[in-house]
Homo-oligomer: A and B are copies of this chain.
Amino acid sequence: MLLHLSTWPEVERYLTHRRAIILPIGSTEQHGPTGLIGTDIITAQAIAEEVGQRTDTLVGPGIPVGMAHHHMAFPGSMTLRPSTLVQLLRDYVMSLSAHGFREVLVINGHGGNIASVTAAFYEIYEEMRLAGRDTTPPLRCELCNWFLMPAVAALQQELYGEREGLHATPSEVAVTQYIHPTRIKIAPLDPHPGTSSSFSDWRDFRTRFPDGRMGSDPSLATPRDGERFVQTAVAEIVARHGDFLNGV
């Protein structure tokens, strides 16, 4: 059930028995020579929608642009300042809280968002405390990074081993191939996609990872793999966050 495809009376009925909502967040950033710039929101959105369907939970609007400063040396990348992302998520969650939503599960497709989203949760809690606007039952926010979940990591290892890498990975590319099979891109990949796992700013990132990949080989990706990653991620999210989505 997507909030965007619902009417307000339908949401009103939903809120008579449920209080959870799922928010997908991604990024708009380079994903190597063959990865789609929208990879992170495409993957998060697909997984979020599937989790919503399995658990009868409403899925709210996505956040398509995240914190991607380190990719800004690559054309087409966009970034929010962390401070903007914090205020954006605050407005999303405060709006939902006003209607009675109490469990907000953010399904995230981009590592660069983790700090800002986590900071946003505490910004929200603290603003509510300072304003004397804490609710009963309390608002609860959880972050789920689908690509870091143990079962997903196991599948990454099984399918790609070390060639999974850290950015523009075959696993995330595979999911986009599964969702957008007509948009599978082919381009030459530098055989040495960087071996570092650390970097500082946007210039340093491009120096270390000239074509945008961090040690990954996205040529391994297939749409079929993508389907498996979606299924694996969804199953694990349902297992780990199912109670939360049910208000437990």
Binding site for B on A (CB under 8 A): 2-12, 15, 28, 30-38, 41-42, 60-62, 64-65, 67, 69-70, 72, 74-84, 86-88, 90-92, 94-96, 98-100, 112, 114-116, 118-120, 122-123, 125-134, 138-141, 180, 183, 185, 187, 200-204, 212
Contact = CB atoms under 8 A, between A and B. Distances in A.
A32 to B, nearest CB: 8
Nearest to A132: B133
A69 B32 CA distance: 39
A96 B78 contact: yes
Contacts of A77: 8, 95, 99
Given A79-B91, A95-B78, A96-B78, A5 B138 contact: no
Contacts of A132: 131, 133
Given A9-B33, A79-B95, A28 B61 contact: yes
Contacts of A35: 7
Contacts of A8: 30-33, 37, 74-77, 212
Contacts of A7: 30-37, 185, 187
